[in-house]
Structure 1
Amino acid sequence: MVETPQLTAARRILVVDDSRMQRRILAAQLARAGYQVQEAGTAEEALAICAETEPDLILSDWVMPGMSGLEFCRAFREMPRTGYGYFVLLSSKTEKDEVALGLQSGADDYLLKPVNGDELRARLAAGERILRMERELKEKNRLVSSTLAELQGLYDTLDRDLKEAWKLQQSLVRERFRSFGSADVSLLLRPTGHVGGDLVGFFPINARRIGLYGIDVSGHGITSALMTARLSGYLSGASPDQNIALIPAEAGGHDARPPAELAAYLNALVIEEMRTESYFTLIYADVDLISGRVEMVQAGHPHPAVQRAGGRVEYLGRGGFPIGLIENAEYESFATVLRPGDRLFLMSDGVTEAADARGALLGETGLGAIMAGSAQMPGPAFLEALMWDLITFSGGDLTDDVSAVLLEFHGAPSSC
């Protein structure tokens, strides 16, 4: 004998048959098996019960006056329900075509009349397993939906926080353009995400010199952004006394550390005091606004470019170790002289390493072509055109932050 299924909660089963005797026989068997049994003499009556109580299982005769069991099954499947209903057709029909028609109409199983008790319990046990799996799946889906809703809430909160973080990071670059008379400085800072690891800036050293810098912290996201926030304080133009690039001058005011010395100082500071796994590349330039002499240090950053007044582009520097990567790393300075009409361009690798659809990098050659095409544009317009060219080149798929400093040297006034 087939074992009666163990029910975690009594299932509601609806017996539909125009024969009162058949209903009573089936109802008695099912009640002994632990089901809550309801009866209906017609399909129409059964539909009314289904609308009110949503039975878990249905045993329905095929041939009945009025609506047939087949029609009842189709109508039942069209009813809105909170869970699945298992439908078994009862009939004396034995033809395979008839059985197939019943299953195609939405029935889950088929039993021949007169119904054998053991076979009935076995078929209902199979139905129980399906209903149990449906219930478990529904619960898992509910948990997944609930978890996704919680994650969406966390994402929305994080998204709001990151947008605020973006505003704060952008505020680190308070001035995007300044004219120093003999030279103009323009800045570009475009993270690929909410926040990034690039930082650019400038600060006055004294009456005739300014410092320019570009920084690219390893990695992306919040950690890199926090690093740039701290570094911005070390190179602040608003707080000269806290700017580690500046040193007191003998005659009062400020002088600046030589670029190579500044790189070494930053390297020791990051390794010994900040104690972080992050490192960063640096380009720093000390510009004399009168003579046009520029002394620079390159620490892992892309080579700085000088565009001469005639349009020719030169790349300077010999590389150098990133800051915070190698203890006691040594750095060397190099210099160039700008003439009126020359431009100095310091860029992050998000510019030269922008890739097209085939994976080819823009490189220094591609950048040179962009600079040549925009040679007559003033600083802010040039940087906007650069971003447009990068987006066009990459098909809109820029994967790294983009930052740059452009200095346009006009030359000192003749009275100086």
Structure 2
Amino acid sequence: MSVEQRKAVPGRPLHVLVVDDSRAQRHILTMQLRRWGYRVTECEAAAAALQVCAAGNVDMIISDWMMPGMTGLEFCRHFRALGHENYGYFVLVTSKSEKTEIADGLEAGADDFLTKPVDSSELRARLRAGERMLAMQAELLAKNKMIVSTLLELQKLYDSLDRDLIEARKLQQTLIRDRVRDYGWARASLMLRNSGRVGGDLVGSFRVDDNRVAVYSIDVSGHGVASAMMTARLAGFLTGSSPEQNLAYGRGLVGQQVLLPPEAVAERFNRLMLEEIQAEQYFTMVFAVMDLGTGMLSLVQAGHPHPMLLRRSGQVVRLGQGGLPIGLLPGATYDRTEVTLATGDRLVLVSDGFTECPLPSGQDFGEAGLVQSLTRSAHLSGSDLLEALVWDLTQQSGSDSFPDDVSGVVLDIQ
């Protein structure tokens, strides 16, 4: 066996510490070890050997069991207690052969045993076994260091990504900076709670003119950054400050901007998703327009949970006709729903984060749960009503950490 084969650590020979109170025994072992290519240090007492182990890198130890002062067994225990990163292979030399003594040695941390007088071929076999163990330990240690280094790099990347997501969350929340928008004869209250750092829900409202207000609730498929980016893009297409950029507007006969019917808005968004954006995403939506002059609420439901009309009397009326999500089928058409509203009535739009929230019973909160919650909170309006819905969902699900984004809009007719 070559010297290179004995090197558990590339670039240096293995360091063997020989501990024996017999000078002759140490000399015999040392001559053999050096002839085989090991670096050898001798100690005549366990206390001195322990100091060598504490100060330097010892790979293997061959220690006599019976020595004055500290025995080889006690030395082995103290050596293991040092807690070095690199493993040290410990061989006890003894005349003991009883099973109880061998068990004591193993319990103290010894790896192998040699009996006196030490046979040269047996010593070499024990050392080879130790080398194999040290080589495996060195390989395992190197792999562990690589894993730790990789985990540290991943942690840095995660921390960087997490900081970016926190900032993205702040930016997304600015899409609904005004949680309550008072239009005089109507008030829109908005609520958005993401299940993660960022989410795929979007709610909003804008003034069309002195007599009309539009509200909408959108839920983009999927979760995370891609969905959040889509909501940001959709918000730009529903801005009330720039009608020329708002997809809810079209050109009138004399070139002026006019609000399209709700079903035309849905069809326009469907063409946009399939023909221009062409992303592997779709979204559900309710888009509604309230006209003070006629008292008529017009809306389109595109795969979103059914809008709820909460009458002043406390009655809950389910609105909408279902409809296809937007961005799934080319040429999809959508139906308009119309209903008359009076002062004190409220339109409630929520995402499926409410209706599909799982309960401990195995059932979902569902539309029935939503209706019951609205009935209990019928005396509330606006943001208080939305908070009551979230409270009920928390109580029934047993957690305020929901698996999906939770959002809602309440339009109060004042």
Which of the five TM-score ranges fits, normalised by the shorter chain?
over 0.9
Which residue identity does 2:6 align to in structure 1?
L
Residue in 1 that maps onto 2:411: 407
Q: Give, in whole Å, the separation in 2 of the partners of 1:96 and 1:203.
A: 88
Q: Give, in whole Å, the separation in 2 of the partners of 1:153 and 1:4.
A: 42
- Post-superposition Cα deviations, 1:173-203, rounded to whole Å, max 9, x if no partner, equal 1321112222211011111111101101111
Q: Which residue of 172, 183, 194 maps to 1:191?
A: 194
Q: Which residue of 108, 111, 114 maps to 1:111?
A: 114
Q: Give, in whole Å, the separation in 2 of the partners of 1:163 and 1:359.
A: 33
* 1:254 shift after superposition: 4.3
Correspondence list, 1:367-382, <5 A: 367-382=370-385
Gaps of 5+ in 2: none
Question: Normalized against structure 1, the TM-score is what?
Answer: 0.95
Residue in 2 that maps onto 1:79: 82
* 1:54 shift after superposition: 2.9
Q: Give, in whole Å, the separation in 1 of the partners of 2:143 and 2:349.
A: 55
The answer to whether structure 1 residue 6 and structure 2 residue 2 are counterparts is no
SS of the residue 2:298 aligns to: strand
- Post-superposition Cα deviations, 1:355-391, rounded to whole Å, max 9, x if no partner, equal 1113211111111111111111221111122222212
* 1:5 shift after superposition: 8.2
Q: Tell me, yes or no, if the aligned pair for 1:10 and 1:36 is still in contact at 8 Å.
A: yes
Q: Give, in whole Å, the separation in 2 of the partners of 1:71 and 1:332.
A: 88
The answer to whether structure 1 residue 52 and structure 2 residue 55 are counterparts is yes
Q: Give, in whole Å, the separation in 1 of the partners of 2:247 and 2:84.
A: 71
Q: Give, in whole Å, the separation in 2 of the partners of 1:64 and 1:408.
A: 93
Correspondence list, 1:226-305, <5 A: 226-248=229-251, 254-305=257-308
Correspondence list, 1:205-216, <5 A: 205-216=208-219
SS of the residue 1:377 aligns to: coil
Q: Which residue of 53, 64, 71 maps to 1:61?
A: 64
The answer to whether structure 1 residue 225 and structure 2 residue 234 are counterparts is no
The answer to whether structure 1 residue 90 and structure 2 residue 93 are counterparts is yes
The answer to whether structure 1 residue 366 and structure 2 residue 402 are counterparts is no
- Percent identity for Structure 1 against Structure 2: 52
Q: Give, in whole Å, the separation in 2 of the partners of 1:195 and 1:135.
A: 44
Q: Tell me, yes or no, if the aligned pair for 2:176 and 2:204 is still in contact at 8 Å.
A: yes
Q: Give, in whole Å, the separation in 2 of the partners of 1:4 and 1:126.
A: 15
Which residue identity does 2:216 align to in structure 1?
Y
Q: Tell me, yes or no, if the aligned pair for 1:206 and 1:253 is still in contact at 8 Å.
A: no
Cα RMSD of the aligned pairs, angstroms, is 1.7
Residue in 2 that maps onto 1:34: 37
Q: Which residue of 22, 25, 38 maps to 1:22?
A: 25
Q: Give, in whole Å, the separation in 2 of the partners of 1:204 and 1:117.
A: 97
Q: Tell me, yes or no, if the aligned pair for 1:282 and 1:298 is still in contact at 8 Å.
A: yes
My pick for the range that moved more, 370-379 or 75-84, is: 75-84
Q: Give, in whole Å, the separation in 2 of the partners of 1:292 and 1:128.
A: 90
* 1:80 shift after superposition: 3.6
Aligned residues: 409
Question: Normalized against structure 2, the TM-score is what?
Answer: 0.95
Which residue identity does 1:118 align to in structure 2?
S
Q: Tell me, yes or no, if the aligned pair for 1:206 and 1:255 is still in contact at 8 Å.
A: no
Q: Give, in whole Å, the separation in 2 of the partners of 1:55 and 1:285.
A: 79
